[in-house]
Amino acid sequence: MRINKFRYANKVLGLKIEPISFSNLSLLVGVSGVGKTMILEALTKLKQIAQGAALNGIEWEIFFSTTPKKNYQWKGSFETTKNIRSIINIPTVGKDESGETMTERPKIKYEELRLNDTLIAERKENEITLKGKKTPKLSSYQSLLYLFNEEAIIKPIFENLNKIIMSDHSHQPGINIIGDFERLSTKYATTESIKNSSMLTHAKLALAYRSQPDIFNKIKANFINVFPQIEDIKFEPFDHPQMFFRDGYCLYIKEKNVSDWIFQNISSGMFKTLMQISDLFLCPEGAVILIDEFENSLGINCIDTLIENLLHDSSDIQFIITSHHPYIINSIGMEHWKVVSRNGGTITTKDAKDFELGKSRHEAFKQLIQLAEYREGIIT
């Protein structure tokens, strides 16, 4: 899947994201607070809507493709309610049209899905059509993608929107114990099943260690290339008398000239680097990976290798990342830059070419940081 363009609004918050286009790698740049993270969060909201969530006051339109010959447009809008429970997402019990108990949620006002400019599904007022035919009355709170996710024409769209992944490895999850590991390793024994699972990345890596040694060894080789002091990594049972995980396995790292394996005090930069390398090898085919503040917890040695992987090793994966770190911006070609600015609640982006920056990367970077749109990106 590749997201080509989208726009978004949250009428409850008074937030509007003007249409923004993406390439295989897009780097959102701008000062802190300008709205870079909001753009990533908006994309994850679209995934939630596809999964059946009802989001108060949201309006959206997204253009994406699954193959060169399949281009989709999906747009819609939820009503805006002042019900405090809807605004702060406190559930209340109610009834939908079929009489089933459900949480109180805002209704969808309209929705439209097109394939290659041909309308395939539409919701208008209280009427829904699928491939030109009216359907029985269905939930007003859930998207057409969710309601028809088993239909042949809708299923691939639903599955691809679920490949939007927010990559967040800023914090090491305790000591990385994966519980019930033997059962998981039986359920996820193939490369495809591991990639398409919804598990955290370190659990996927553990399963690859068990059943996919070729992929695991590629990840390990990339990791050791960044940290040459590392000798080996493995996943083994975590044996502790007070362990409350059943069949728990844990990540262990072995450094050169150190007798004991490390399992608890792994540095945050080392852990994040390992997880982001793992994402490249273990995410679903055609995934869209969102990375906020790419530089967090990373040293220069980590950044260089990860940027190289982003640029060269992942042609079937789309990356949308944010940063305001000079080294990262200067390391990624200006053809990937999206300069973000905000006027009140309206967020806009421009390509580097719109500013006629210098031809060399270094010259373009020096001119970028002098732009008013970059230095004074927030207008209130």
Please provide the distance, in angstroms rounded to a whole number, between the alpha carbons at the two ends of the chain.
36
Nearest to 201 by CA among 275, 119, 120, 125: 275
Which spans in the chain are helix H? 36-50, 84-87, 144-147, 155-161, 181-187, 191-196, 201-211, 213-226, 268-282, 300-312, 326-331, 361-368, 372-375
Nearest to 283 by CA among 208, 177, 233, 352: 208
State residue 91's pLDDT score.
Answer: 39
| pTM metric for this prediction | 0.86
The rounded distance, in Å, linking the Cα atoms of 172 and 290 is 18
State residue 78's pLDDT score.
Answer: 95
State residue 81's pLDDT score.
Answer: 86
User: What is the token pair recorded at 235?
Assistant: 């996943």
State residue 79's pLDDT score.
Answer: 94
State residue 93's pLDDT score.
Answer: 39
pLDDT digits (tens, 9 = 90+) for 80-94: 987 655 555 443 434
The rounded distance, in Å, linking the Cα atoms of 167 and 186 is 26
State residue 125's pLDDT score.
Answer: 77
Q: Strands 318-323, 288-291: parallel, antiparallel or unpaired by DSSP?
A: parallel
Contacts of 240 (CB under 8 A, 6+ apart): none
Q: Return the ∠ at Cα 274 (arms to 247 and 1), rounded to 5°.
A: 100
Is residue 295 within 8 A of residue 303, CB to CB? The reply is yes
DSSP string, 230-266: EEEEEEEE---TT--STT-EEEEEEETT-SSPBSS--
Is residue 106 within 8 A of residue 86, CB to CB? The reply is yes
Q: What is the pLDDT along the chain (380 residues), one digit of tens a residue?
A: 999 999 999 999 999 999 999 998 999 998 888 899 999 999 999 999 999 999 999 999 999 998 778 999 999 999 998 765 555 544 343 444 444 444 568 999 999 999 999 999 999 978 999 999 999 989 999 999 999 999 999 999 999 999 999 987 665 545 566 777 888 889 999 999 999 998 889 889 999 999 999 999 999 998 998 899 999 999 988 765 555 555 678 889 999 999 888 877 788 888 888 988 898 899 998 899 998 988 775 666 677 777 777 766 556 889 999 987 787 888 888 888 899 999 999 999 998 888 777 666 666 666 676 676 766 667 65
Is residue 194 within 8 A of residue 282, CB to CB? The reply is yes
State residue 335's pLDDT score.
Answer: 86
State residue 271's pLDDT score.
Answer: 87
φ, ψ of residue 336 in degrees (nearest 5)? -100, -5
Please report, for residues 63, 99, 304, 358, the alpha-carbon distance to residue 364 in angstroms, rounded to integers and kept in the order given: 30, 60, 19, 4
- Domain positions in the chain: 171-283
